[in-house]
Amino acid sequence: MSPKDASTVELVLPGKAEFLLVARLATSGVGLRAGLTVDDIDDLKVAVAEACTNVINHAFDDSIPESERRILLSLSIGKNEMTVEVEDEGVGFDPNALERSQRDGLDGQGGLGFGLMRELTDSLRVESAPGSGTRVIMVKRATR
Protein backbone atom coordinates (compact mmCIF):
# COMPACT_ATOMS: atom_id res chain seq x y z
CA MET A 1 0.00 0.00 0.00
CA SER A 2 1.57 3.30 -1.05
CA PRO A 3 1.44 6.41 1.20
CA LYS A 4 -1.77 8.38 0.71
CA ASP A 5 -2.92 11.93 1.44
CA ALA A 6 -5.00 13.14 4.39
CA SER A 7 -8.29 12.19 2.71
CA THR A 8 -7.50 8.50 2.64
CA VAL A 9 -8.46 5.82 5.15
CA GLU A 10 -6.24 2.75 5.16
CA LEU A 11 -7.12 -0.55 6.82
CA VAL A 12 -5.35 -3.89 7.09
CA LEU A 13 -7.86 -6.72 7.46
CA PRO A 14 -7.20 -10.41 8.12
CA GLY A 15 -7.94 -12.40 4.95
CA LYS A 16 -10.96 -14.11 6.49
CA ALA A 17 -14.63 -13.95 5.52
CA GLU A 18 -15.71 -12.81 9.00
CA PHE A 19 -14.02 -9.44 8.31
CA LEU A 20 -16.00 -8.70 5.12
CA LEU A 21 -18.52 -6.82 7.25
CA VAL A 22 -15.73 -4.52 8.46
CA ALA A 23 -14.78 -3.73 4.84
CA ARG A 24 -18.42 -2.88 4.04
CA LEU A 25 -18.84 -0.71 7.15
CA ALA A 26 -15.65 1.22 6.33
CA THR A 27 -16.88 1.71 2.75
CA SER A 28 -20.19 3.09 4.03
CA GLY A 29 -18.55 5.51 6.44
CA VAL A 30 -16.03 6.91 3.97
CA GLY A 31 -18.67 6.93 1.22
CA LEU A 32 -20.84 9.25 3.31
CA ARG A 33 -17.86 11.56 3.86
CA ALA A 34 -17.22 11.50 0.09
CA GLY A 35 -20.78 12.66 -0.63
CA LEU A 36 -21.97 9.44 -2.27
CA THR A 37 -25.72 8.72 -2.20
CA VAL A 38 -27.16 5.75 -0.33
CA ASP A 39 -27.60 3.94 -3.67
CA ASP A 40 -23.98 4.71 -4.65
CA ILE A 41 -22.79 3.34 -1.32
CA ASP A 42 -24.91 0.18 -1.69
CA ASP A 43 -23.26 -0.42 -5.08
CA LEU A 44 -19.76 0.24 -3.80
CA LYS A 45 -20.21 -1.97 -0.74
CA VAL A 46 -20.94 -4.94 -3.03
CA ALA A 47 -18.00 -4.12 -5.32
CA VAL A 48 -15.57 -3.84 -2.37
CA ALA A 49 -16.87 -7.04 -0.78
CA GLU A 50 -16.50 -8.88 -4.11
CA ALA A 51 -12.86 -7.76 -4.36
CA CYS A 52 -12.19 -8.82 -0.76
CA THR A 53 -13.97 -12.16 -1.28
CA ASN A 54 -11.75 -12.81 -4.30
CA VAL A 55 -8.69 -12.22 -2.10
CA ILE A 56 -10.00 -14.64 0.54
CA ASN A 57 -10.95 -17.34 -2.01
CA HIS A 58 -8.12 -17.08 -4.53
CA ALA A 59 -5.10 -15.05 -3.38
CA PHE A 60 -3.48 -17.42 -0.92
CA ASP A 61 -2.11 -20.91 -1.37
CA ASP A 62 -0.71 -23.27 1.27
CA SER A 63 2.73 -21.62 1.11
CA ILE A 64 1.35 -18.41 2.66
CA PRO A 65 0.84 -18.74 6.45
CA GLU A 66 -2.52 -17.62 7.81
CA SER A 67 -0.86 -14.79 9.77
CA GLU A 68 0.34 -13.27 6.47
CA ARG A 69 -3.00 -13.50 4.66
CA ARG A 70 -4.05 -9.87 4.72
CA ILE A 71 -6.29 -7.55 2.76
CA LEU A 72 -5.02 -3.98 2.37
CA LEU A 73 -7.95 -1.64 1.93
CA SER A 74 -7.51 2.00 0.93
CA LEU A 75 -10.52 4.33 0.73
CA SER A 76 -9.86 7.79 -0.75
CA ILE A 77 -12.22 10.74 -0.86
CA GLY A 78 -11.99 12.69 -4.11
CA LYS A 79 -14.00 15.50 -5.67
CA ASN A 80 -17.53 14.02 -5.97
CA GLU A 81 -16.07 10.52 -6.09
CA MET A 82 -14.43 7.83 -4.04
CA THR A 83 -11.54 5.56 -4.98
CA VAL A 84 -11.08 2.17 -3.34
CA GLU A 85 -8.01 -0.02 -3.64
CA VAL A 86 -8.09 -3.64 -2.51
CA GLU A 87 -4.64 -5.13 -2.43
CA ASP A 88 -3.13 -8.45 -1.40
CA GLU A 89 0.33 -9.98 -1.30
CA GLY A 90 -0.87 -13.34 -2.56
CA VAL A 91 -0.17 -15.57 -5.53
CA GLY A 92 -1.46 -13.15 -8.20
CA PHE A 93 -2.82 -14.17 -11.59
CA ASP A 94 -2.77 -13.29 -15.26
CA PRO A 95 -5.31 -10.45 -15.81
CA ASN A 96 -5.69 -11.61 -19.44
CA ALA A 97 -7.34 -14.77 -18.09
CA LEU A 98 -9.85 -12.51 -16.37
CA GLU A 99 -10.60 -10.75 -19.64
CA ARG A 100 -11.27 -14.12 -21.29
CA SER A 101 -13.59 -15.02 -18.41
CA GLN A 102 -15.45 -11.71 -18.84
CA ARG A 103 -16.01 -12.40 -22.53
CA ASP A 104 -18.06 -15.42 -21.39
CA GLY A 105 -20.43 -12.97 -19.67
CA LEU A 106 -21.38 -12.71 -16.01
CA ASP A 107 -21.81 -16.48 -15.83
CA GLY A 108 -18.28 -17.19 -17.02
CA GLN A 109 -16.06 -19.12 -14.63
CA GLY A 110 -14.99 -16.76 -11.85
CA GLY A 111 -16.59 -13.91 -13.75
CA LEU A 112 -19.64 -13.16 -11.65
CA GLY A 113 -17.82 -11.27 -8.90
CA PHE A 114 -15.77 -9.21 -11.35
CA GLY A 115 -18.84 -8.68 -13.53
CA LEU A 116 -20.70 -7.16 -10.57
CA MET A 117 -17.67 -5.01 -9.69
CA ARG A 118 -17.53 -3.69 -13.25
CA GLU A 119 -21.27 -2.94 -13.38
CA LEU A 120 -21.46 -1.32 -9.95
CA THR A 121 -18.50 1.06 -10.28
CA ASP A 122 -17.58 3.80 -12.77
CA SER A 123 -14.05 2.51 -13.28
CA LEU A 124 -12.34 -0.79 -12.51
CA ARG A 125 -8.69 -1.65 -12.99
CA VAL A 126 -6.92 -4.88 -12.03
CA GLU A 127 -3.16 -5.00 -11.61
CA SER A 128 -1.71 -8.46 -11.06
CA ALA A 129 0.85 -10.98 -12.25
CA PRO A 130 1.54 -14.54 -11.13
CA GLY A 131 3.60 -14.45 -7.94
CA SER A 132 3.30 -10.73 -7.26
CA GLY A 133 -0.05 -10.10 -5.58
CA THR A 134 -3.06 -8.25 -6.88
CA ARG A 135 -4.38 -4.70 -6.67
CA VAL A 136 -7.95 -3.82 -7.68
CA ILE A 137 -8.68 -0.11 -8.10
CA MET A 138 -12.31 1.04 -8.26
CA VAL A 139 -13.79 4.52 -8.63
CA LYS A 140 -17.38 5.40 -7.77
CA ARG A 141 -18.70 8.86 -8.67
CA ALA A 142 -21.52 10.55 -6.73
CA THR A 143 -24.72 10.45 -8.78
CA ARG A 144 -26.64 13.31 -7.07
Partner 1 sequence: MKIRAEQLDERMAVSHVAGELDAYTAPDLRDALEAHLQQGTAWIIADLTSLTYLDSTGLGILVGTAKKCRQAGGDLAVACNRKNLLRIFQISGTHEILNVVETVEAARERLEALRAQREERTDGEATS
Query: Distance between CA atoms of 111 and 119, rounded to whole angstroms?
Result: 12
- Are the C-beta atoms of residues 110 and 35 closer than 8 Å to each other? no
31 binds partner 1 (CB under 8 A): no
Q: Does 17 bind partner 1 (CB under 8 A)?
A: yes
Q: Determine whether 15 is exposed, middle or buried from the number of CB atoms within 10 Å of its CB (0-12, 13-18, 19+).
A: buried
**DSSP letters along 17-36, please?**
GGGHHHHHHHHHHHHHHTT-
Nearest distance in Å: CB 18, partner 1: 5
Q: Which stretch binds partner 1 (CB under 8 A): 14-22, 71-79, 85-93, 128-136?
A: 14-22
Q: CB-wise, 91 or 106, nearer to partner 1?
A: 106
Nearest CA to 64 out of 102, 37, 92, 105 is that of 92
Q: Which of 31, 45, 73, 136 binds partner 1 (CB under 8 A)?
A: 45
Binding site for partner 1 (CB under 8 A): 17-18, 20-21, 24, 39, 42-43, 45-46, 49-50, 53, 56-57, 105-107, 112-113, 115-116, 119-120
